Amino acid sequence: MTTAKAPGIFSFEMDAKAEDTPDLEILTFENGNFPDETITYGEIVSKGRKLAKQLQDMGFVQGDVLALIMRNHPEFVYALYATTAIGAVLLPIDPRNKGNRLQYVLKDSKTKGVIFSSEFTENASRALAGLPDIQVAGVVRKEGMPEIVKSQWTDLSAILEGPEAGEPENRCTDPNAIMEIIYTSGTTGDPKGVVLKHARIAPYSMLAQLVFQYKPDDKLYTGLSLTHGNAQAVTLIPALYLGIPAVISCKFTKSRIWDICRKHGCTTFSLLGGMMMGIYSEPVKENDADNPVRLVLSAGTPHAIWESFENRFGVLIHEWYGAVEGGFAHKPPGVGPIGSFGKPLEGMMEMLIVREDDSECEPGEVGEIVARTPGQKTEVNYLGKKDASEKKTRGGWLRSGDMGHKDENGWLFFDYRKGGGLRRSGDFIQPGFVEAALALHPDVDDVCVYGIPAASGAPGESDLVAAVVASDGGAIDPAGLFKHCRENLEGNAVPSYLQVVDEIPKTASEKNLDRLLRDDFSADAANVFALTN
């Protein structure tokens, strides 16, 4: 087995894999109604070097930022090879970003060049119109996508299918150099760019082997965007570094996920809590448990559906907790209480629940989840935001911004995002339980429950809003849905309002963007229905 010349550096790791098994079909990109694309290690290196030459010809040098605006396609992997080879920095952007938000990320990151898929031409063009110094390094066009509209834009396929390119000169070998910038979801405001070093990704394969216990005969699957740390850490990097084939959908699909796993023989996949609720809300089918999946890696499984999900689909859930900034805990299947996200890795991570004054909470007491790695300085680098970086690691602890508690045996539980707890008539309401009840209604395809200031004016109190999407383009019967809620929820958990929408806006991690729903909410709107006694 060939050893990478610069272990851990993505491009060198791919060089070593391509030398040993150039024709191994390692990644399959599943494209919905259009043909799948399967790529080998040899193609990753060959096409990655062609793109690296293209970037160098454009003047890219170490530290320059290349932005990607597209769904999951092979070009993402080629771009990752190219940037890590020449020392440039990859900036994967959730393609759902548009307008001022997209322009903000491009400007904040000091992007030098951008690659986008032609389906997002309008979004990219509007953002680039105000940023004339950013070069278009190429446009990705797939079957079913619009034509490339400007003749001066390079069709990236012309580069990737063109003449071979040699090994780039002046390759990056420094594990502490910047490899990637991943922006936070921005669920409460402008997103922040988390700066990641090359050394960050090498442990992903060890985590996959020792904690998630991937096996050589596994086949991985994800529908999460590769712009999100989860898809990279749990699926992409372990697959490529360990030689375990993976299937990656161009975008998440809750209705076809089991069919995809059956078709490709996928044995494990990664989910986030919002995705799990969406899958669970699909109509029950007789063959739900007839699938090859043995293990679901989940971050944020709703307690209300945990056991039902396992039983219905015949899978085991390995729960875990972490963020792109750091911190990690997990709960293997069958260990610990349902609802817990586990415990930190002994000797490798410390995690506490603390009060505002940093004193440790008692079991059952809710406080902020903080973490640190023993013997290491706790660091977070938010691009260009020194004060925010220092605030995030105040006192040597990573401040998660998540509120949780532990039980008498040290098992950790997530309760709500700091500042986002919902209290109603003195009771704390868990939106996940309300969403679970609504998801079971046959007329509901997707749901997001959030709070607005209580009409009573009581400080800290919320009225509940349930934003719902009708199944199969049908209609929502508000009276019937309120009746369903009364029959399945405690009184204080019954929503005050139903907000009927065409879709629930999501982040790259498939989290509900409730702030956008909140911005659009009006009690007098035609799509909003109030609870009546």
Domains of the chain: 10-200 (3.40.50.980), 250-417 (3.40.50.12780), 426-530 (3.30.300.30)
CA distances from 83 to 12, 145, 305, 403, 425 (A): 12, 26, 41, 37, 54
Q: What's the rounded mean pLDDT across residues 219-239?
A: 94
Model pTM score: 0.85
Q: Quote the pLDDT of residue 490.
A: 76
Paired tokens of 273: 């809590």
The answer to whether 495 and 466 are in contact (CB under 8 A) is: yes
DSSP at 512: B
Helices (H), 119-194: 121-129, 156-160
Mean pLDDT for 310-330 is: 94
| pLDDT attached to residue 219 | 98
Mean per-residue pLDDT, 501-520: 86
Residue 426 clears pLDDT 90, i.e. is over it:
no
- The answer to whether 358 and 385 are in contact (CB under 8 A) is no
End-to-end CA distance of the chain: 71
pLDDT at 439 over 80: yes
The pLDDT, as a whole number, for residue 136 is 96
Res 211 pLDDT > 90: yes
What is the chain's mean pLDDT, rounded? 92
Per-residue pLDDT at 459: 61
Residue-level pLDDT at 473: 72
pLDDT digits (tens, 9 = 90+) for 342-375: 999 988 899 999 999 999 999 999 999 999 999 8
| pLDDT greater than 80 at residue 267 | yes
Q: Residue 266, CB half-sphere, CA atoms under 13 Å: how many?
A: 28
Query: Tens digit of pLDDT for each residue in 235-263?
Result: 999 999 999 999 999 999 999 999 999 99
State the pLDDT at residue 304.
82
Q: How wide is the angle at C-alpha 467 spanned by C-alphas 462 and 471, nearest 5°? A: 155
Q: Tell me the per-residue pLDDT of 74-127, one tens digit each, with 9 for 90 and over.
A: 999 999 999 999 999 999 998 888 888 899 999 999 999 999 999 999 999 999
pLDDT tens per residue across span 40-52: 999 999 999 999 9
Per-residue pLDDT tens over the stretch 136-180 = 999 999 999 999 988 889 999 999 999 999 999 889 999 999 999
Amino acid at 460: G
| pLDDT given for residue 395 in this prediction | 94
3-state secondary structure of 464: strand
State the average pLDDT over residues 197-202.
Answer: 91
